[in-house]
């Protein structure tokens, strides 16, 4: 059986014929050739595959592409707009919150969603938000620091513009 | 990465439509909602349904509302919404306790209460939560609806009262005055299944415990409903000694198995400790004494 | 395009040389533009998948591949028989053993490779695995290393001629048995312990994989592979496949974590290469997480029995007897003459009278491996052992664990210090480092808090560990791996524009080499780091060397880059003298230029010297044009980083859950090229230490079934289990390293597990009498210890 799925990915409408069993992570990586989204496990534990569906972070390895028909998907490639990095990306760079970079797209999407909902999170709230994502390299300390950097940066920008 | 076997797929546009499809397609068809129990099993080839009926479009089943003296939760309500609901937290704080420690925040965006209850994994928290809260569930088939209490819901390991061509549509929690509840869980690491967990609910009456609900996760082949401890508590004034007795009963009446999370004696011990903790907290909430 | 220029840098620190320079490689990673192995697609590429044994030990009766071959998307199914015709059914290991690429006669561990499917896409390859029918005849399995040498134990390696038992490597000794016996005879306190360092796994977030592309027209084999030692791999493939080395090119993709897991050559690599050679198309194979956990290089699994003694308040002797579980094939990676790696550094940081160490290795029906996960060639096991024993001795002596260490440390005046097992530690001031840790921790306040809490029934523990480790292998006169010298090369070329490219033998898997190695050149030559390209991981473009593991990048490749930069600087001096019409000895250097002593306005900037070197203008007499140099660096010794770690834990008295509240880590890794990156490396290792101490375990049932074969049961700490690490430093430059740097990547894994376990015991000794507990300190295991029923993990 093949089905047609149509969805918006990073603002662009896409439409493809796929097997229903195709997981969203493979649809993104293989069919759309957006390889920024990664995978690291078989059991929905590691969070390397996190993307946003209708704004919510989800583990794309545990979603069928078919389930996204009619929905909006955002991947890490959507963060930089017109050559301008998102503050969360800047924060990760500023605060050395990545080493091998493999968990980074999932962490960026998860923490971008956190800041969208909670612009001033505490360190504990940040740790809770990323508790579904594993990093083997950083020990998380700098990731927390990076999210705080981004939050402060966005608050300062808002104040200037407000 | 591991990948599922081939299956046919359709998207349900109505509850009755999903039921009709289940009837038509028979035992090799499964409903899929959040998918965070079913899809991992399919990837590991532990489950190989030939047909999936996707019910994620049935947004009419996603609600938390107060109606006819009950809090009613639609089966498609996601864990994240259960966590955030102030209405639910006000009447049944054990939901928020449990949701804080169910899976992780990202998984909670997709998993549903219906899916969790129907998975009927003994380690799953919401089954104990609903049992302690004296919930009943609404099950719909082609012949109509029936209401089943949580007592009768878990039939066997991984088997519930939901029949082959039926769908769980709603969870109903009777609201009674002077109630308090809590859920307490021990896990090896954030996001892990419980080594053991206890849900407790009490309703006070003139300084004594009028009614109690106590249920345990992960210490039996299904959710353990500790009716003997509930009987003990009814009509008695709350005290640490009473809760210790209830805990001892919980310890005795569960039937844990030894596995990677812990041996039998430790799980029994936890059942007792967590029952006491949950009861203490539930009572404090019922008496508005919690800090 | 993502470059470092596009990255806005609000902070002003952009050092030319050492300092907290933000990373150049971030530009692609924060955009999701890294190229990891599974991101590689080539035209005509097909996908491999491996069928693995469900049994730990079984005869293979038959393999029927017909149903799989009938699948429309399947191109081939390869078994041992097919590989035999190519001479590839078995491959050599780094430990001079052999390992089956695909099992022919028997399977010897659960998860062992049995067949290799090649299909058009990944989903079809996975489907095809279900269509291969293998008939097994199960055999009894050996899972417990202590039982491997029992007389009735089944023989695992009946493939090896003359192998009569499950001994993988005979007893290896270090130290002096007679002197140690004397020390124990003279001692006033003796303690003994059985201590296990359980099997765990590096589990990098990216699993292992390969893309093999053999071009039948040219005979060239192109390989993309995330591996930590590309040149060594190429040498192995040349030998195994019978291809000349220049016909094999290995390019390392961006690597999503190594931690030693990506050092070995795995059967999947050989299958993909064989598949590509036979089929003439690119073959991609990448393992799933279960495969990674059950078949690739695990870590540790040392069963140890130790005794330690003291006299007059000072530690005097140590004896250790180890059974090392190597799994079904001996594929541990360590220098040839050191079958137990550097375990004999177990003499520790103390001025012992004598010590004696014995290690033997056995085969069991489990996956092969043992040297991995930031172990510094078994130094993690050694330090864990000695630091646990020091605490055990402190308990027996009723001494404060820090006081006992301070009294027993090697004193600053004793360096260079030859240990009782033959190490020569070059420099150190251990007490100073320990004091820094105590200050940051507020040690006395913590002990006060502990007393107060104990009175209220709250269980708080403070644990200490001090380590000296040896990294940067190693001098060619002492060590080799598979007969290859552990030397690294560096090639530096300065372009006419004054920008440069440096090619190195090291291979980053997240350590930040693109930044730090540029910083070394910048420090030596004054060229800004953004103008220095660092090349690594391409065997066609990088100098021969043994890669990155054992914390050797800074000590060996870092030294090579410093030396090669100085060679370039020396050549630049001669050219500058010609340019300035003066003698070379009249010139002085400041970063970026040679200038005339006494007339500093008169000088030549490095970029002008570079342009001159390529121009038609006169060069110094007899000198070739260009501004470049090459070096192969042979380290004169290992380097010896050390550190003092303190862990604070709280144990729930009812549920026995352990919370790591604080970890204070004070490292002396010599001069720090990029302190930000050093701190990051330490944070990561501390998190891994939390995992090892509390939750990571590869366990097996009696039949050899692996019970932790996914991330549901192989538990890795999240942000909620890791405290906000507190770091400190002391700086004792390494006397022989050109930059004074020592290396640091593995130190946090060396120091944190013993600190945490010592803390757990410290929380429970007085109230519950717990004087030992094996890792992982899961709630169930801690509770059992509190009941007096501590048992080693399976």
Q: How confident is the model at residue C792 (pLDDT cuts 50, 70, 90)?
A: confident
Residues A100 and A148 occupy one common structural domain: yes
Structure confidence by residue, pLDDT tens digits, A128-159: 999 999 999 999 999 999 999 999 999 999 88
Partners of chain C (3+ Cβ pairs below 8 A): A, B
State mean pLDDT over B15-24: 97
Residue C258 exposed, middle or buried by CB count within 10 Å (0-12, 13-18, 19+)? buried
Domains within chain C, CATH numbers bracketed: 37-139+207-255+262-295 (3.90.1170.50), 383-473+637-786 (3.30.365.10), 488-633 (3.30.365.10)
Contact A118, A84 (CB under 8 A): no
Structure confidence by residue, pLDDT tens digits, C454-505: 999 999 999 999 999 999 999 999 999 989 999 999 999 999 999 999 999 9
Hey, what are B224's tokens?
């353990």
Minimal Cα distance from B262: which residue of C? C780
Does residue C786 have a pLDDT over 50?
Answer: yes
Q: Do C657 and B3 touch (CB under 8 A)?
A: no
State mean pLDDT over B23-51: 96
Residues of B engaging A, defined by a Cβ cutoff of 8 Å: 1-9, 11, 32, 35-36, 39-40, 43-44, 52, 54, 56, 80, 103-107, 109-110, 190-191
Residues A28 and A71 occupy one common structural domain: yes
Residue C114 exposed, middle or buried by CB count within 10 Å (0-12, 13-18, 19+)? buried
Strands C209-215 and C283-286: antiparallel
Residue B281 exposed, middle or buried by CB count within 10 Å (0-12, 13-18, 19+)? buried
Structure-derived torsion over alpha carbons of residues B173, B176, B179, B185, reported in degrees to the nearest 10: -10
- Pick the residue of A60, A107, A109, A141 with the most C CBs within 10 A to test the interface with C by mutation: A141
Residues A73 and A109 occupy one common structural domain: no
Question: Contacts of residue B9 in chain A, CB cutoff 8 Å?
Answer: 1, 3, 20-21, 64, 66
Q: What is the DSSP string of C426-473?
A: ----HHHHHHHHHHHHTHHHHHHHHHHHHHTT-EEEEEEEEEE--BS-
Q: Do B2 and C126 touch (CB under 8 A)?
A: yes
CA distance B199 to B234: 17
Q: Do A21 and B103 touch (CB under 8 A)?
A: no
Of residues C639, C194, C209, C208, the one with CA closest to residue C389: C194
Q: Do C126 and B3 touch (CB under 8 A)?
A: yes
| Structural domain ending residue among the three candidates A19, A54, A78 | A78
Contact C102, C114 (CB under 8 A): yes
Q: Which of B2, B6, B263 sits opposite C288 (nearest CB)?
A: B2
For residue B152, the distance in angstroms to the closest alpha carbon of chain A comes to: 31
For residue A70, the distance in angstroms to the closest alpha carbon of chain C comes to: 25
State mean pLDDT over A63-68: 98
State residue C694's pLDDT score: 98
Q: Do A131 and C720 touch (CB under 8 A)?
A: yes
Minimal Cα distance from C121: which residue of A? A30
Report how many domains make up chain A. Answer: 2
State residue C422's pLDDT score: 94
Residues A73 and A96 occupy one common structural domain: no
Q: Can you give the CATH number for the domain in which A13 is found?
A: 3.10.20.30
Question: Contacts of residue C717 in chain B, CB cutoff 8 Å?
Answer: 189
For residue A92, the distance in angstroms to the closest alpha carbon of chain B comes to: 20
CA distance C37 to C47: 13
Q: Can you give the CATH number for the domain in which A132 is found?
A: 1.10.150.120
- Pick the residue of A7, A18, A21, A73 with the most B CBs within 10 A to test the interface with B by mutation: A21
ipTM given for this complex? 0.98
Of residues B224, B211, B229, B162, the one with CA closest to residue B18: B162
Residues A62 and A104 occupy one common structural domain: no
Structure confidence by residue, pLDDT tens digits, C88-130: 999 999 899 999 999 999 999 999 999 999 999 999 999 999 9
CA distance A22 to C455: 59
Hey, what are C35's tokens?
């190229």
| Structural domain ending residue among the three candidates A55, A78, A101 | A78
Number of other CB atoms surrounding residue C324 within 10 Å: 28
CA distance C790 to C212: 49
Structure confidence by residue, pLDDT tens digits, C244-294: 999 999 999 999 999 999 999 999 999 999 999 988 999 999 999 999 999
State mean pLDDT over B90-112: 98
CA distance C234 to C507: 14
Q: Do B3 and C123 touch (CB under 8 A)?
A: yes
The residues in A 50-69 lying below 8 A from C, measured between CB atoms, are none
For residue C706, the distance in angstroms to the closest alpha carbon of chain A comes to: 16
CA distance B116 to B97: 16
Mean pLDDT of chain C: 96
Catalytic residue positions of C, numbered: 228, 374-375, 746
Say how far residue C407 (Cα) sits from the centre of its chain. 32
- Pick the residue of C30, C73, C256 with the most A CBs within 10 A to test the interface with A by mutation: C30
For residue C7, the distance in angstroms to the closest alpha carbon of chain A comes to: 8
Question: Contacts of residue C710 in chain B, CB cutoff 8 Å?
Answer: 44
CA distance B54 to B64: 22
Residues A63 and A100 occupy one common structural domain: no
B196 part of contact set with chain C, CB < 8 Å: no
Q: Name the percent of chain A lying above pLDDT 90.
A: 97
Contact B217, B127 (CB under 8 A): yes
Mean pLDDT of chain B: 97
State mean pLDDT over B124-141: 97
∠C404-C753-B260 over CA atoms, to 5°? Answer: 135
| Structural domain ending residue among the three candidates A43, A78, A113 | A78
Largest Cα separation within chain B, whole Å, is 60
Minimal Cα distance from C690: which residue of B? B189
Residues A94 and A74 occupy one common structural domain: no
Q: How confident is the model at residue C11 (pLDDT cuts 50, 70, 90)?
A: very low
Hey, what are C601's tokens?
């306005």
What is residue C409's DSSP assignment?
B
The residues in B 110-169 lying below 8 A from C, measured between CB atoms, are none
Structural domain containing residue A42: 3-78
For residue B99, the distance in angstroms to the closest alpha carbon of chain C comes to: 16
Residues A92 and A49 occupy one common structural domain: no
Structure confidence by residue, pLDDT tens digits, A27-57: 999 999 999 999 999 999 999 999 999 999 9
Residues A102 and A148 occupy one common structural domain: yes
State residue C789's pLDDT score: 85
Minimal Cα distance from A28: which residue of C? C39
Residues A70 and A100 occupy one common structural domain: no
Residues A73 and A112 occupy one common structural domain: no
Q: Which residues pair with C668 in a beta bridge?
A: C642
């Amino acid at each position: 059986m093949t089905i047609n799925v149509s969805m918006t990915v990073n603002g662009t409408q896409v439409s493809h014929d796929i097997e229903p069993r195709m997981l969203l992570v493979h649809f993104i990586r293989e069919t759309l050739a957006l390889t920024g989204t990664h995978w690291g496990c078989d059991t929905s534990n590691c969070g390397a595959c996190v993307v946003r569906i209708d704004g919510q972070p989800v583990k794309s390895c545990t979603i069928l592409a078919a389930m996204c028909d009619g929905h909006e998907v955002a991947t890490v490639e959507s963060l930089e707009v017109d050559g301008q990095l998102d503050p969360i990306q800047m924060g990760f760079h500023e605060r050395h919150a990545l080493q091998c970079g493999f968990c980074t797209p999932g962490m960026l999407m998860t923490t971008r969603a956190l800041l969208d909902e909670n612009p001033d999170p505490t360190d504990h709230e940040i740790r809770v938000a990323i508790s579904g994502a594993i990093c083997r390299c950083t020990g998380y300390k700098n990731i927390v620091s990076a999210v705080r950097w981004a939050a402060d940066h966005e608050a300062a920008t808002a104040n200037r513009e407000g | 990465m591991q990948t599922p076997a081939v299956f046919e797929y359709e998207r349900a546009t109505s509850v009755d439509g999903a039921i009709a499809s289940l009837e038509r397609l028979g035992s090799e068809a499964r409903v899929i909602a959040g998918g965070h129990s079913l899809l991992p099993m399919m990837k590991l080839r532990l489950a190989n349904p030939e047909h999936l009926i996707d019910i994620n479009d049935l947004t009419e089943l996603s609600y938390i509302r107060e109606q006819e003296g009950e809090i009613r939760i639609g089966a498609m309500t996601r864990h994240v919404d259960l966590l955030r609901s102030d209405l639910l937290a006000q009447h049944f704080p054990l939901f928020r306790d449990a949701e804080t420690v169910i899976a992780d925040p990202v998984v909670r965006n997709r998993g549903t209460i219906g899916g969790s209850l129907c998975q009927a994994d003994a380690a799953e928290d919401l089954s104990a939560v609903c049992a302690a809260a004296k919930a009943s569930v609404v099950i719909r088939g082609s012949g109509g609806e029936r209401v089943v209490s949580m007592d009768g819901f878990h039939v066997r390991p991984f088997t519930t009262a939901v029949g082959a061509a039926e769908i769980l549509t709603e969870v109903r929690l009777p609201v009674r005055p002077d109630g308090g509840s809590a859920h307490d869980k021990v896990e090896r690491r954030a996001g892990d299944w419980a080594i053991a967990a206890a849900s407790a609910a009490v309703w006070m009456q003139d300084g004594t415990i009028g009614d109690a609900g106590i249920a345990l996760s992960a210490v039996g082949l299904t959710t353990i409903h500790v009716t003997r401890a509930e009987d003990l508590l009814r009509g008695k004034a709350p005290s640490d000694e009473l809760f210790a007795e209830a805990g001892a009963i919980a310890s005795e009446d569960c039937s844990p198995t030894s596995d990677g999370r812990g041996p039998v004696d430790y799980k029994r011990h936890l059942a007792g400790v967590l029952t006491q903790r949950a009861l203490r907290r539930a009572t404090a909430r019922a008496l508005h004494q919690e800090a | 395009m993502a470059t470092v220029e596009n990255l806005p840098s609000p902070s002003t620190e952009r050092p030319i040389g050492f300092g907290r320079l933000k990373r150049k490689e971030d530009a692609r990673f924060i955009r999701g533009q890294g190229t990891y192995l599974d991101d590689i697609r080539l035209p005509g590429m097909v996908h491999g998948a491996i069928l693995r044994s469900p049994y730990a030990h079984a005869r293979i009766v038959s393999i029927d591949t017909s149903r799989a071959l009938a699948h429309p998307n399947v191109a081939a199914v390869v078994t041992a028989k097919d590989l035999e015709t190519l001479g590839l059914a078995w491959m050599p290991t780094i430990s001079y053993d052999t390992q089956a690429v695909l099992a022919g006669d028997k399977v010897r561990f659960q998860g062992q490779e049995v067949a290799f499917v090649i299909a058009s896409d990944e989903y079809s390859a996975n489907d095809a695995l279900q269509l291969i029918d293998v008939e097994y005849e199960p055999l009894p399995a050996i899972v417990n290393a202590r039982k491997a040498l029992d007389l009735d134990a089944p023989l695992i390696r009946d493939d090896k001629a003359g192998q009569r038992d499950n001994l993988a490597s005979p007893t290896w000794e270090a130290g002096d048995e007679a002197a140690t016996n004397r020390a124990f005879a003279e001692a006033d306190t003796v303690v003994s312990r059985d201590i296990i360092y359980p099997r765990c796994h590096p589990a990098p977030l990216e699993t292992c994989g390969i893309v093999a592309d053999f071009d039948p027209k040219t005979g060239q084999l192109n390989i993309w592979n995330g591996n930590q030692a590309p040149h060594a791999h190429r040498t192995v493939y040349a030998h195994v496949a019978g291809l000349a080395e220049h016909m094999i090119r290995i390019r390392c993709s961006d690597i999503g974590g190594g931690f030693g897991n990506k050092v070995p050559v795995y059967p999947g690599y050989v299958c993909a290469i064989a598949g590509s050679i036979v089929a003439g198309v690119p073959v991609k194979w990448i393992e799933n997480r279960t495969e990674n956990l059950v078949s690739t290089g695990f870590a540790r699994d040392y069963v140890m029995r130790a005794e330690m003694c003291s006299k007059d308040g000072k530690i005097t002797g140590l004896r250790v007897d180890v059974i090392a579980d190597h799994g079904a094939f001996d594929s541990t990676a360590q220098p040839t003459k050191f079958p137990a790696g550097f375990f004999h550094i177990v003499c520790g940081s103390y001025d012992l009278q004598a010590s004696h160490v014995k290690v033997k290795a056995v085969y069991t029906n489990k996956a092969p491996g043992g040297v991995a996960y930031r172990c510094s060639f078994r130094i993690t096991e050694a330090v864990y052992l000695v630091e646990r024993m020091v605490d055990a001795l402190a308990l027996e002596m009723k001494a404060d664990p820090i006081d006992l260490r301070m009294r027993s440390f090697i004193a600053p005046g004793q360096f260079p210090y030859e240990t009782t097992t033959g190490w020569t530690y070059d420099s150190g001031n251990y007490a100073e480092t320990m004091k820094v840790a105590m200050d940051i921790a507020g040690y006395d306040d913590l002990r006060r808090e502990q007393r107060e809490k104990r009175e209220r029934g709250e269980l708080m523990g403070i644990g200490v560990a001090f380590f000296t480790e040896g990294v940067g292998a190693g001098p060619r006169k002492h060590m080799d791996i598979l007969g290859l010298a552990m030397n690294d090369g560096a090639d530096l070329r300065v372009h006419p524009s004054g920008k440069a490219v440096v090619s190195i033998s090291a291979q980053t898997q997240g350590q930040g080499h693109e930044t730090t190695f540029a910083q070394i050149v910048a420090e030596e030559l004054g060229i800004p780091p953004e103008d220095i390209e660092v090349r690594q991981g391409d065997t066609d473009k990088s100098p021969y060397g043994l890669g990155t593991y054992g914390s050797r990048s800074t000590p060996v490749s870092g030294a090579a880059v410093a030396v090669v930069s100085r060679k370039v600087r020396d050549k630049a001096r001669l050219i500058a003298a010609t340019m300035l019409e003066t003698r070379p000895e009249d010139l002085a250097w400041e970063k970026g230029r040679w200038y005339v002593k006494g007339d500093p306005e008169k000088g030549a900037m490095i970029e002008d010297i570079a342009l001159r070197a390529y121009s038609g203008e006169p060069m110094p007499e007899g000198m070739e044009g260009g501004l470049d140099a090459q070096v192969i660096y042979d380290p004169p010794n290992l380097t010896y980083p050390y550190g003092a770690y303190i862990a604070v834990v709280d144990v729930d008295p009812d549920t026995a859950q352990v919370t790591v509240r604080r970890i204070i880590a004070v490292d002396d890794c010599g001069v720090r090229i990029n302190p930000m990156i050093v701190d990051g490396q330490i944070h990561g290792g501390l998190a891994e230490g939390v995992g090892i101490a509390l939750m990571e375990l590869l366990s097996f049932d009696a039949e050899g079934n692996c019970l932790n074969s996914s991330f549901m049961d192989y538990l890795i700490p999240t942000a909620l289990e890791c405290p906000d690490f507190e770091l400190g430093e002391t700086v004792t430059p390494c006397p022989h390293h050109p930059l004074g740097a020592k290396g640091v990547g593995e130190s946090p894994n060396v120091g944190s597990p013993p600190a945490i376990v010592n803390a757990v015991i410290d929380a429970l000794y007085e109230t519950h009498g717990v004087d030992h507990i094996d890792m992982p300190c899961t709630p169930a295991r801690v509770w059992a210890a509190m009941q007096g029923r501590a048992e080693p993990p399976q």
